[in-house]
Structure 1
Amino acid sequence: MRTSLKLHCASLAVLAFATSASHAAETLNVVTFGGAFEAAAKKAWFEPFTQASGVTFATESYDGGLAKLSAMEQAKNTTWDLIDMETNDAITACDEGLLKKFDKKTLGKTSDFISGSISECAVASMVWSTIYAYDASKLKAAPTSVNDFFDLQKFPGKRGLRKSPKVTMEWALIADGVDPKDVYKVLATPAGVDRAFKKLDTIKKNIVWWESGAQAPQLLADGAVAMVQAYNGRIDDAAKKDKKPFKAVWDAQVYDFEWWGVPAGAKHADAAAKFIVSQAQPKASADLSKYIAYAPPRKDAIQYVDKQRLADMPTAPENFKRAVQINANFWADNADAINKRFQVWLTQ
């Protein structure tokens, strides 16, 4: 009896050690856009998941695109388990077989997700927006429209823009008189692309380009620009946490979903999928808004968002009047051609 008890205890000890070792060994390698979003995701999602499952996270930052993921998959040496993606990249990655298929049934109720926020290979984590911001302590008059961003006479000074044609092209056309609802119809024509570049020519000498999301609020803080294109969460974070006198201009905001995808060659794919399911539950989905002004992609989550916080969200009615949803299919189809012309334009 005593021997049996000892063997039983020893078995339990081995099982506990094996389980502990398994948890300790399982680390999800996550690539995100870094900065304020990654910090918020750690508090809202990574840390609670670690407490519940024992799975830990190692993070890496990037600025989008599929080049590195594609290279890793081709070399059959994928080191990422979970990737944070913009919509057009999520579509392309799925089409090219770079992501695993996702079983929607594991999410439970899906009818309350915003239309288009679950795909064959990825699940939206939040709704974010590209806006522009200014330092209220430095501008005598407050800009109110995307036209003001292009008006160097009324608002002198440098303009900060992401070094990408996405959003920049849309804004150029809207500032040139195109109705937001027609922007992709116009941009889909050679004349529309010409028109966008011609409008950008009017401020080209005054543009300061940024490539990392963290650079946008820093350019504003340093006084390097009078206005800066930025992710809304970055500006809100700088204003709320760092007490910067920054104001967002929501006119012609271009909003999008952010997505979680699991690379096809991920070594910890099961744990990554379980994390996505955990993060997508209504309460967890809403928790991100405690730390950054990004909106949950499902309606059932809104009840958990602080009412005062809702006013800072891209989806708030006052902010949504002339909003443009980025046309991910357009960019998935046209990104290469427009990017090539954009790179040439930069050197001219």
Structure 2
Amino acid sequence: MSEQESRKFAFNAMNRRSLLQSTASLLSVPFTISTTGAFAQEKLSGAGEVVVYSYGGSFTEGLRKNVFERFTKSTGIKVVDVTADLAEPQIKAMREAGRVDWDVAFVTGANYPALHEAGAFLPIDYDLWNAEALIGVPESARRADAVLGYQNANLLVYDERAFPKAGPKSWADFWNVKEFPGPRGLDAGLGYRNMVYALMADGVARSDIFPLTDDKIDRALKKLDEIKPHIVKWWTAGGEPVQLLLSREYALTSAPDGRAITAIKQGAPLRLVWEGANMGENYWTILKGGPNSANGQKFLAFVNRAEVAADFTQGVGYPGPNTNQLKYLPANLLPLLSINPDNAAKVVPPDFAWFTLKRPDGKTNADHMQERWLTWRAHS
């Protein structure tokens, strides 16, 4: 699925490969695991292989170097990695064919509920996890049949050169064109994100954003009417907003955190504003009917250990949920990550299960929000 196609729907967020490949520069951070022996507990040792799906490109390269190779050295289990842009169509096709060839796969937070209801996943064996993983990974991230793999955020990013004294601190500041003048950008494709930003700017509390009922959508679009004349370009690809910030065509914009973090690590004068950030979730799952399910359980237990989670974060550029990894990460990376407690407290909690619910007219909430957004873009 192309980025343009995937962005037609709120639950696809953006093309995963184009987003995740942008974080390749984080691979330059030194590995944190000094030995494999500390992680080679007897209950994770084994033989054979495990087939793991991921998104390809630098994302999978980071997994190979930072996770897969170390898992094999620690356990004796070989990782066979397979790649595709999105897993869900492949999972559905394998289930329909009656032959599941993968053991472990990422699925998006929005697509998880339907596959869960279809019985596509095995329960996670948390008895294999060590104490540091069970303590560090919050219960909200540990579902019965899925584990949060990583989060990606879209948030307010601004050019420090445009605001040398004091930059914007919230979406209300984004709407404040008098105190924070300059050309602005927002996402053209995913309307619900802009609705969230607008409601935040209009004083709605983070905890009250979802569900995006019709009255809230009306309120959000009315607020977006105010800022629309100041949006010089509606960006359509994940790398575009950061590029336009660097070329000074934007002074402030919404943007993916991974793109901005990569630019910051390369010396770009950009600042992240976590207040009101919109989060996406991607889950590790063990596919029912896979050829090596027991090894899949061992893999998930391994990847969620704190030191391995830190290497995962450095390898792919997005943090897994284990907050105990923070003590193993470089200090200059911590302020940029969504799992930093200071940042995590400021994000808008997603409600992807609500996105997939059907309305009385048979449309999902996600489809309804997107239709309202596209109508507003076309006619307002």
For normalisation by structure 2, the TM-score amounts to 0.69
Q: Distance in 1 between matches of 2:289 and 2:225?
A: 43
1:339 aligns with 2:370: yes
1:148 aligns with 2:179: no
Residue matched to 1:287: 311
Residue matched to 2:276: 252
1:104 aligns with 2:135: no
Pair 1:304–1:84, CA change in 2 (3 A): same
SS at match of 1:155: coil
Partner amino acid, structure 2, of 1:261: T
Correspondences of 1:257-276 after superposition (within 5 Å): 257-264=281-288, 266=290, 269-276=293-300
Gaps of 5+ in 2: 1-46, 358-364
**Contact preservation (8 Å) 2:123, 2:144:** yes
**Deviation at residue 166 of structure 1 after TM alignment:** 4.0
Cα RMSD for the two superposed structures: 3.4
Correspondences of 1:37-52 after superposition (within 5 Å): 38=60, 40-52=62-74
Residue matched to 2:256: 231
Residue matched to 2:110: 88
Give a deviation string over 1:262-304, Cα, whole Å, max 9, x none. Answer: 3446455454443222101222112234456644423443433
**Deviation at residue 159 of structure 1 after TM alignment:** 0.6
**Deviation at residue 144 of structure 1 after TM alignment:** 2.0
**Contact preservation (8 Å) 1:36, 1:237:** no
Q: Distance in 2 between matches of 1:326 and 1:335?
A: 12
Residue matched to 1:9: none
Pair 1:210–1:265, CA change in 2 (3 A): farther
**Contact preservation (8 Å) 1:160, 1:219:** no
Gaps of 5+ in 1: 1-21
Residue matched to 1:28: 51
Find the partner of 2:205 among 169, 173, 179. 179
1:120 aligns with 2:151: no
Find the partner of 1:54 among 71, 74, 78. 78
**Deviation at residue 179 of structure 1 after TM alignment:** 1.9
**Contact preservation (8 Å) 1:124, 1:297:** yes
Partner amino acid, structure 1, of 2:234: V
1:200 aligns with 2:231: no
Deviates more, 1:218-227 or 1:280-289: 218-227
Q: Distance in 2 between matches of 1:278 and 1:233?
A: 24
Pair 1:345–1:146, CA change in 2 (3 A): same
SS at match of 1:249: strand
Q: Distance in 1 between matches of 2:80 and 2:89?
A: 26
**Deviation at residue 214 of structure 1 after TM alignment:** 4.3
**Contact preservation (8 Å) 1:296, 1:302:** no
Q: Distance in 1 between matches of 2:345 and 2:296?
A: 37
**Contact preservation (8 Å) 2:206, 2:349:** no
Pair 1:209–1:99, CA change in 2 (3 A): farther
Residue matched to 2:11: none
For normalisation by structure 1, the TM-score amounts to 0.75
Give runs of ≥4 in structure 1 deviating > 6 Å: none
Q: Distance in 2 between matches of 1:253 and 1:304?
A: 25
Q: Distance in 2 between matches of 1:54 and 1:320?
A: 35
**Deviation at residue 173 of structure 1 after TM alignment:** 0.7
Q: Distance in 1 between matches of 2:294 and 2:79?
A: 11
